[in-house]
Amino acid sequence: MQCPYDMKPRWARRKDARPQELLAAALDLFVERGFASTRLEDVAKLAGVSKGTLYLYFTNKEELFKAVVRETIVPALGEAEDFIAAFNGHSGELLRNVLHSWWQHLGATKASGIGKLIMAEAGNFPDLAEFYREEVINRGTIMISGLLERGIAKGEFRPIDVPVVTQVLIAPMLMLMMWKHSVGPCDQSELDPMMFLNSFIDMALNGLLPPAGSAAAAL
């Protein structure tokens, strides 16, 4: 027998459930269609409410988009920052944990499509790109840079150009998200995200050259 609650229309649910349903619907449509092609009436319809109800919570599409980012991406950054601050082990293991956690909580979820949206539509919506830069990109960059500086200070990483290496570490993560939301569904090679991630981490921590002193190490 079907549960009687399943027979109620979505708009019959308690009022405080509606913002979350609207944010979930908006995330689905933003990732599927992009920012420009997502209409508020379609978000409301997918969430099972009227367009007027949507306006009770969000004044326009820009504010809805910002709320989606703050609901799905920003909290994950905060959790990663807290984890780094409390971690007492080797910085290499810390980097591995942070990147794995990033994939688990963001990369493997629909929220990873927001990054592709920003890259594709930043030129047409510079205010949204600036918002994303301030609340996500800058914060993530500072986090990774701080992790690298921690490793150098503890003698666990060799001296490096931290700002440059930070971007070197971020770039493959962005590539993995772009692949997932572009050619990934059609890619017959079926790139395994975790194998990619583990290979990248292994290369980042160990490099491509053999240990110093071996005959093969000489360039």
Task: Examine the pLDDT at 6 and tell me if it is beyond 70.
Answer: no
Nearest to 171, CA basis, from 108, 209, 115:
115
Widest pairwise Cα distance in the chain: 73
The model's confidence at residue 214, banded by pLDDT at 50, 70 and 90, is low
Mean pLDDT for the stretch of residues 112-116: 90
CA angle 25, 52, 45 (to 5 degrees): 35
pLDDT (0 to 100) of residue 189:
60
pLDDT (0 to 100) of residue 176:
86
Distances in whole angstroms, Cα of residue 192 to Cα of each of 137, 142, 199: 25, 28, 11
pLDDT (0 to 100) of residue 211:
67
Residue 15 class from Cβ within 10 Å (0-12 exposed, 13-18 middle, 19+ buried)? exposed
Helices 113-121, 18-33: crossing angle, 10 deg rounding:
60
pTM score, two decimals? Answer: 0.82
Domain assignments of the chain as residue spans, ordered by start = 10-68, 73-206
Q: How far apart are CA 125 and CA 108, in angstroms?
A: 26
pLDDT (0 to 100) of residue 193:
84
pLDDT (0 to 100) of residue 71:
94
pLDDT (0 to 100) of residue 187:
58
H or E element in which residue 20 lies: helix 18-33
Q: How far apart are CA 93 and CA 87, in angstroms?
A: 10
| Higher pLDDT pick, 191 / 114 | 114
| Block residue for tokens 């992009």 | 34
| Block residue for tokens 């930043």 | 122
Q: What is the token pair recorded at 127?
A: 């205010």
Q: How far apart are CA 59 and CA 36, in angstroms?
A: 17
Q: Using the Cα atoms of residue 157, residue 162, residue 168 and residue 172 in order, give the sign of their dihedral.
A: positive
The model's confidence at residue 207, banded by pLDDT at 50, 70 and 90, is confident
Q: How far apart are CA 172 and CA 201, in angstroms?
A: 10
E-only strand ranges, the chain = none
The model's confidence at residue 9, banded by pLDDT at 50, 70 and 90, is very low
CATH no. of 73-206: 1.10.357
Task: Examine the pLDDT at 2 and tell me if it is beyond 50.
Answer: no
Q: What is the token pair recorded at 49?
A: 């409410």
Domain 10-68, CATH homologous superfamily name and number: Homeodomain-like (1.10.10.60)
pLDDT (0 to 100) of residue 213:
60
| Higher pLDDT pick, 104 / 64 | 64
Q: Kindly report, residue by residue over 60-79, the tens digit of the pLDDT.
A: 999 999 999 999 999 999 99
Nearest to 26, CA basis, from 50, 49, 42:
42
Nearest to 31, CA basis, from 132, 136, 113:
113
Mean pLDDT for the stretch of residues 139-167: 94
The model's confidence at residue 191, banded by pLDDT at 50, 70 and 90, is confident
pLDDT (0 to 100) of residue 11:
41
pLDDT (0 to 100) of residue 208:
64
Q: Kindly report, residue by residue over 84-99, the tens digit of the pLDDT.
A: 999 999 999 999 999 9
pLDDT (0 to 100) of residue 218:
46
